Amino acid sequence: MSSAAVVKPRQDTDDYCVAPDSVHPRIGKISYENGVFYHNVDLTELPNFSALKDEVEKVIAELSWWQSYGVDSCILLSGVIGAVLSFFLMSSSNFPIFTAGVILLGCCHSVLAIKGGHVAAHKAVCQSAMWNRLLGFFFSDVCGTFPSDASYEIHVKGHHPHTNIMGLGDSSTFKAPLLPAFLYLFVAPLLLPIITPVVAVMTLWGRWFQLCRFLVIASFGLFANLYMAMTIAGCTLLGSLAITVVSRAVLAIPYIHVNIFQHIGLPMFSPRHRPKRLYQMSVGVLNLSSNPILDICFGHGIISCHVEHHLFPRLSDQQCLHVKPIVQRFLKANGLSYHQASYTDRLGVFLARYSQLMVNAPPISHFVGIQ
């Protein structure tokens, strides 16, 4: 296999293989034939995942509690404090201060509902299973108006083990092929605050106990939000509802962008020809460049350490950040890809190739292991 070369796919399919040379000739080649990408990989050259796992566990074992969970806990706590503070800002008659309060509330909502809900679903807020479960209800059901049970089933049990597997974890639920590029990328995400609870109810429909529990907990969260808007900010009920919707849409556009940028456009594998896990996460996941706002509001595991998060989903955001150099070095040293791109670069790709990426079905990839 050392003489294997990379066969560059046709121009109209390049968007789906971000780097045609993502597999080093030492371990295999990628070829394209009759609408299918073939990832021909020498299994004897493919590194063992346990080797990377041992290195990562060694780094994690040397981290203090503060390094593993303390920093993230402070960020989450600041989300609660900032949310309360935002209502005091919104009580001002000064429009810029009022606007700052709405934006602050939106950012804090993302810290709690997205970052907090995500790490809680992965049981990575802390080491206690009980506290992860309870915090999952708070972050997801109370703050995010989305059931933590559904988050676990869809994201942890579905998306993660089946990353970029067609029909199982291919991120197709984020596609809306009837919408043109501008509407999808810059307008439709603003409806997320309204769509989210509807999707939540539809997801739990038929599981009446879970649905009733969610409705009770989510109603409490919504009531608390409206109560503070009315009593602290001095808004009317209608104004409080408007503030809730607008604030939760503050980071809705980048939220949708991030979810499609990091998987769509990368190889999508047939369920019958799925790759080894290390290879699957290497070619099917992309890290976005670090962004202070998104790193804080969404978490490192969602933004700049997404590859690390997919390889080790039980790690906290800060733990992912600490093992990032280890993962990057290991993958590159063993001839595997380590996809990275800036937010603006990916946005440019999706604007230029929207039909290929978000409307048309992607070409299927087959993993071919060669002994």
- Domain containing 216 equals 47-359
Angle at 223 between CA 220 and CA 224, to 5 degrees: 85
The answer to whether position 16 is within a domain reads: no
Tens digit of pLDDT at every position of the chain (371 positions):
333 333 333 333 444 444 444 555 567 788 778 778 888 887 877 889 999 999 999 999 999 999 999 999 999 999 999 999 999 999 999 999 999 999 999 999 999 999 999 999 999 999 999 999 999 999 999 999 999 999 999 999 999 999 999 888 778 888 888 999 999 999 999 999 999 999 999 999 999 999 999 999 999 999 999 999 999 999 999 999 999 999 999 999 999 999 999 999 898 898 888 888 999 999 999 999 999 999 999 999 999 999 999 999 999 999 999 999 999 999 999 988 899 999 999 999 999 999 989 998 788 888 887 77
81: how many CB neighbours lie within 10 A of its CB? 10
Q: Are 244 and 222 in contact (CB under 8 A)?
A: yes
Q: Which residues, 6+ apart, have CB-to-CB distance to 216 below 8 Å?
A: none
Sole residue written with tokens 């890290």: 287
Read off the tokens for 284. 């099917």
Query: Number of folded domains in the chain?
Result: 1
- Which one, of 201, 203, 221, lies nearest residue 144 by Cα? 221
The answer to whether position 41 is within a domain reads: no
The answer to whether position 28 is within a domain reads: no
The answer to whether position 259 is within a domain reads: yes
The answer to whether position 13 is within a domain reads: no
The answer to whether position 366 is within a domain reads: no
Burial of 123 (0-12, 13-18, 19+ CB in 10 A): buried
pTM: 0.90
User: What is the distance between the alpha carbons of residues 301 and 295, in angstroms, rounded to a whole number?
Assistant: 8
Burial of 154 (0-12, 13-18, 19+ CB in 10 A): middle
> How many residues would you count in the chain?
371
The answer to whether position 108 is within a domain reads: yes
The answer to whether position 5 is within a domain reads: no
334: how many CB neighbours lie within 10 A of its CB? 18
Burial of 181 (0-12, 13-18, 19+ CB in 10 A): middle
Read off the tokens for 175. 């596609």
Write out the H or E segment, with its range, that includes residue 108: helix 95-110
